[in-house]
Every structure is written in structure tokens, then in C-alpha cells.
Amino acid sequence: MTATALSPDRIALRDRVRALAAGPVTARAAEVDRSEQYPWDNVELLKREKLLGMTIPTAYGGQGRTWLDAVLAIEELSAACAVTGRIAVETNMGAISAVMAYGSEEQKKLAAGMVLDGDKPAICITEPEAGSDAGGMTTRADRRGNRFVVNGRKHWITGGGVSRLHLIFAKVYDTRGEEEGIGGFLAIRDETKGLKISKREPTMGLRGIPEAVVDFEEMELGPDALVIPPRGLKKGFADLMNAYNSQRVGAATVALGIAQGAYRLALDWSETREQFGRPINEFQGLQWKLADMSIRLAAAQALVYKAAASGENGFPDMLMAAQAKVFTSESAIAVVNEALQFFGARGYSRELPLERMARDVRMFTIGGGTAEVLRNVVASSILGKKLPQTRDGWSEGR
């Protein structure tokens, strides 16, 4: 799937979002970064424009659109403001898509309603001692009768403090203290005793969305909170990772969008800026940089669209999602860095968006599965075997 093969409906969607991004979203982007405030006004805008819950089925009030449709919107929003692009990812992919795939009727209605009303759900997996090795998590959910008591700490939770709906992963233990596997639970901040937002991380970029430490202290949940049952040692986690392939495609799309935005700025500037009596794009050294940037972007876009299209009847393919995220995140960092270079000293100024883009884009080889760990995913898929990453046997990485 390439940009040129898009249907007229998709081109219209992309163009509509591009115009929106160029207007109000671009106008607010620098302020969102500077103030480090969550852009609730942009959330309202996305809500009005039906860009929240695009992938939620119409039966639950959503648009019933495809991953690729969401990707087209996210790409354009991210070119203007990566924070707004991430909000679009997390209201169309990741936690919400896990609930819509694996949840009960009540859970689906609850989650869809909250997202369509403007809530960006938080997904809680990472812990201080369990990052890439997510299977090593120690947050526990102990069964007490038909209820669960959750204790533990998660960190780097996107939206901690602004998100209401939380999808929390914990190791489930039966009443005899035997481990059942990893399960996923829904909890609503401010309505669930024991769910505490403890600290906001001072992040390098993407500053309009808080990254927070979330603590669970004797947090009691009813049986209706369980979305992804443990079902044996690996099943709960496998379901999570399946849903997470959509989030990975979303993250790759934000990186792609940021790089597209930076590239467009550099392209325009290369025509305007003159040195030695001619536009700087007449120097072959810069022409080749532009050529390389456009090649990387075209290849990244093709991988992202292909991965998104692979999930037409379910979640995106794991291999394609991992390939797209590794290549796009690394290419985007390189493209943004080159784009900044086109501006000389101006690129280093906080008055232009390039430095913000360089800070924002840096995240995407880290969050949601690092480039190294995703290379493991690619390798195990092409080799048809998974090598244990721990010294003494199996551990499920992300």
C-alpha cells in the first residue's frame, strides 16, 4: 500500500486532517510543548472532527474505520504536533483496541463511551525493574473470593494524571498463592481506591502528555474489571502483545509524521534561504540530503501503511508492525536531525519547531518496545524460533 494507491475516501480523510493540522494544531504546538499542559482543546477538536475512536465499531458509537484510516489521520496530526498525534494513537489503538477485542459487552461500552467522550486510556505495563522484560513484572493481583487485590508500581505511564481509564497488567495469583499468569484489568482513576499517580517524569520531549509513576496500593477490583484473563502462563500476555501491534504501528506513524513535518519545513526553507547568491537547495551536498530524506520517508511510509493494512480483519501483523516501528523510528530521527541542519543556527533556536521535533522524535526507538527488542521480534519471526533472553530459560519480552 503506497500513498498513491489510496482510495478517494482515504485521500479526502487525509486532506481534511492535513488542513486541520496546518491550522489550529500547528498554532498550538509550541505552546503545548512550553507549557507542558495536556492539550484539552485539541482533544475537543479531535472529538468534533470524529478523529477519536475512529477504529471503534459503529455499534459502540465509533466510526468503524480501519487502522489505515487512523494512520492517515495520525500522520498528518503528528506532522504539526506529536502530542496531538499520540492522543489520536491512544484513542484509536493500544488499550482501547485491546478492550474492544477482548472485553465483555459492558467493558466495551464503558471504554468506547469514555474514549468517545475524550478520555485517552492509559496502558500500564512497564515497571521500574521490568521494562523490556515485561514478563518479569511484579505487580500482583491476588484473588480474594471473586475479587482481586492489586499491589505494585508502574512507571512511564503515558497520560498518568490526565487519563481516567487504565488498562493494568499484573500477575494473577489464586487464593492458594499459585501464579496463574498475566492478566489485564480495567480501573478508573478517581473512582478506584488505591490507584495513585505518584510522580510526573521530567521528559526530554512530547511534553504535553504526562509520563507518570502509577502506584496500586491494596486496589480492590471486582470480577467485571478483568479484561484479559491470565489463562495459563503466556496467554494473557500474548493477547496483550497482539493488541499492542496496533499501538506499535501507531507509534511508528507519529514518528513518520514528525519527520514529514520537519522534511516539509526543510524543503521550503531550502528554496527561501540564499547563500553565495543562490538558494541553498542548489548545492549538491544539500540536494543529496533532500533525496535521502525523501527516500527514507517513502520507505517508512510504505512499511507503516503495509503494516496497518495487514490488520484489516484483526490486529496488524506482528512482524510487519515490528519492522515498521524499527525502520520508521530510526529513519525519523535521522530525517529530523538533517532537517534541523538545513536551518543552520536557526534550527537550534527554540523559536522554530525543529528542536522540539528533534526532542519529540527521539522517543520512538524506546517507548512501546525498543528498537533492539523489536529486532529480536523480527529475528525470531524470520528464523521461526524464539531464543530465551534470560540466562536460565524462558521470559516473554515485549
Ligand X SMILES: Cc1cc2nc3c(=O)[nH]c(=O)nc-3n(C[C@H](O)[C@H](O)[C@H](O)COP(=O)(O)OP(=O)(O)OC[C@H]3O[C@@H](n4cnc5c(N)ncnc54)[C@H](O)[C@@H]3O)c2cc1C
Q: Which residues bind ligand X (CB under 6 A)?
A: 123-126, 131-132, 156-158, 206, 211, 363, 366-370, 372-373, 376, 389, 397-398
Q: How far is the CB of 164 from ligand X (least distance, A)?
A: 14
Cβ 364 to ligand X, closest distance in Å?
A: 9
Which residue number, 236 or 397, has a Cβ lying nearer to ligand X? 397
- For ligand X, give the closer residue by CB, 82 or 172: 82
Q: Which residue is nearest to ligand X (CB)?
A: 131
Judged by beta carbon, residue 238 or residue 302, the one nearer ligand X is 238
Three cell numbers at 363? 522517543
Of the candidates 342, 354, 363, 352, the residue with the CA atom closest to the CA atom of residue 254: 363
The distance of closest approach from Cβ of residue 372 to ligand X in the complex, given in angstroms and rounded to an integer, is 3
What dihedral angle (degrees, nearest 10) is formed by the CA atoms of 65, 71, 75, 77? 40
DSSP 68-135: HHHHHHHHHHHHH-HHHHHHHHHTTSTHHHHHHHH--HHHHHHHHHHHHTT---EEE--BTTBSS-GG
| Least distance (Å) between residue 208 CB and ligand X | 12
Whole-number minimum distance, CB 94 to ligand X, in Å? Answer: 8
Of 216 and 343, which has the nearer Cβ to ligand X? 216
Shortest distance, CB of residue 187 to ligand X, whole angstroms?
A: 14
Q: Which is nearer to ligand X, 157 or 213 (CB)?
A: 157
Output 158 or 270, the one with its CB closest to ligand X. Answer: 158
Mode of pairing for the β-strands spanning 211-221 and 165-173? unpaired
d(CA 252, CA 88): 13
Q: Which of 149, 154, 156, 275 is nearest to 210 (CA)?
A: 156
Q: Quick one: how far is CA 182 from the chain centroid?
A: 22
Q: Are 68 and 2 in contact (CB under 8 A)?
A: no
Q: In degrees, to the nearest 5, what angle opens at C-alpha 129 toward C-alphas 124 and 134?
A: 50
- Nearer to ligand X by C-beta: 65 or 356? 356
Q: What angle do CA 175, 181, 187 make, to 5 degrees?
A: 80
Minimum Å gap between C-beta 134 and ligand X is: 7
